[in-house]
Amino acid sequence: MKTLTFNNGDKMPILGLGTWKSKPGEVYQAILWAIEAGYRHIDCAAIYHNENEVGEAFRKAFADGMVTREELFITSKLWNDCHRKEDVKKGLLKSLSDLKLDYLDLYLVHWPISFKKGVGFAENREEYFTYSDVPLSQTWRGMQAIKAEGLVKHIGMSNFNIAKLKEIIAVGGDGPEMNQVEMHPYLRQEKLVGFCKSNGILMTAYAPLGSGDRSNSIKKADEPNLFEDKQIKSMASKYGVSAAAILLAFSVNREIAVIPKSVNQDRIIQNLEAAEIVFDQEDLEQLLQIKDQYRFIDGTFFTGSKSPYALSDLWESE
C-alpha cells in the first residue's frame, strides 16, 4: 500500500481503519477483520470509549501471529480534559493501558479546546478552561515531553486551523507532524492543506464519506449526501467502483491519509481497495472544483453562550 513518510523516515499506510462510532461489541471483530484484510493503520481516540475493546483485538492479533506490533501504525488522541502539561502523560498512559500497548506511533491533540480534568463533555462555562488558563503551548510542551520519553513516536493534532498551527510551531522544538481534519470533495481545505505541506506537516482526512452514521444530535436535517453528487457518481461509473471508493481515493490521490470507519467485513475490504485507485489528473481537478461545499462536523457543540470558544478558534475561512 502507498504510504506517507514522516521527516525521520517512518512510514504510515495512507489508508487506515477509523474507530469513531464503532460500538463496543462490534469494534473488536472489525479490528480483526481489518488486520486480516491487510490494514496496518488503525486510528483510535480516548473519547471514542472503545479503546479497551480495540486493545483486546490487538492482543489477540499479536498472540495469534496475525501481525506484529511493529507492523501496525496505531494512532490515538488526547482528550480535551488533559490539556494541562501535567495531565498530558496521564491521558496517554490511560490510552496505552486500554490499548494494551507500550507506545503509540502517533498521538494527536484531539481539539484546540480545553476542559477541566474529569469532564467528558463540557456543558457549562465552569467546565471549560480558556486559553489564558491553559495555553496551547503548555499542552504542546506536554506532547513534546512524552515524545522525548519514547512513549510516542510522532505527535500532532486534530482540528487545528492555520492560526493555531502557527502558535504551536512558535513554541519551538519538536513541531507538529500531523493534522487530522474533516476532508472530502465538499470540504477540500485547500488553504490548510497548502500550509501543512509547506511546513512539513502530514494530513489525515476524517469523515471522508460524510459521517452519515453519527448521532442525530450533531446532524442537521438538510445535510447533503456525498454519494448522490453527480460528479462523484459519474467518476464511480468511469472507474468501475463505488461512490465510497471515489471519496476515499480523493484523499489518497492528494497524498493525504484517510481513515474510513466500518464494522462491516465486506465494506472494510472494499474500502481498502480504494487505496489503489489512481485518478486521471483532470478527474482529480474536477473533484477539486465541485461548487457545493459543506462541513459535516461543524464544532458548534464546543461554542455558544456556555463556552469561551468561537468557531474561529477551529476553522479556516475558506
Convert 237-267 into a string of H (helix), E (strand) and C (coil).
HHHCCCHHHHHHHHHHCCCCEECCECCCHHH
Nearest-10 crossing angle of helices 243-252, 230-239: 90
In the structure grid, which three cell numbers stand for residue 55, read together?
486493545
Which positions are annotated as active-site residues? Answer: 48
Kindly report the number of other CB atoms within 10 A of residue 175's CB atom: 18
pLDDT of residue 221: 76
Contact (CB, 8 A) for 243 and 296: no
What 3-state class would DSSP assign to 162? helix
CA angle 82, 86, 91 (to 5 degrees): 40
Q: What are residue 158's DSSP bridge partners? A: 180
Beta-carbon contacts of residue 99 (< 8 Å; ≥ 6 apart): 44, 51, 52, 54, 55, 58, 74, 76
Structural domains in the chain, sorted by start: 3-313 (3.20.20.100)
Would you state the pLDDT for residue 65? 98
pLDDT for the residue numbered 21: 81
Q: For each of the chain's 318 residues, which pLDDT tens digit applies?
A: 999 999 999 999 999 999 998 888 899 999 999 999 999 999 999 999 999 999 999 999 999 999 999 999 999 999 999 999 999 999 999 999 999 999 999 999 999 999 999 999 999 999 999 999 999 999 999 999 999 999 999 999 999 999 999 999 999 999 999 999 999 999 999 999 999 999 999 999 999 999 766 566 666 878 999 999 999 999 999 999 999 999 999 999 999 999 999 999 999 999 999 999 999 999 999 999 999 999 999 999 999 999 999 999 999 875
Distance CA 265, CA 29 (A): 9
- pLDDT score for 22: 84
**Cα separation of 167 and 233, whole Å?**
40
Question: 114-115 and 178-182 as β-strands: parallel, antiparallel, unpaired?
Answer: unpaired
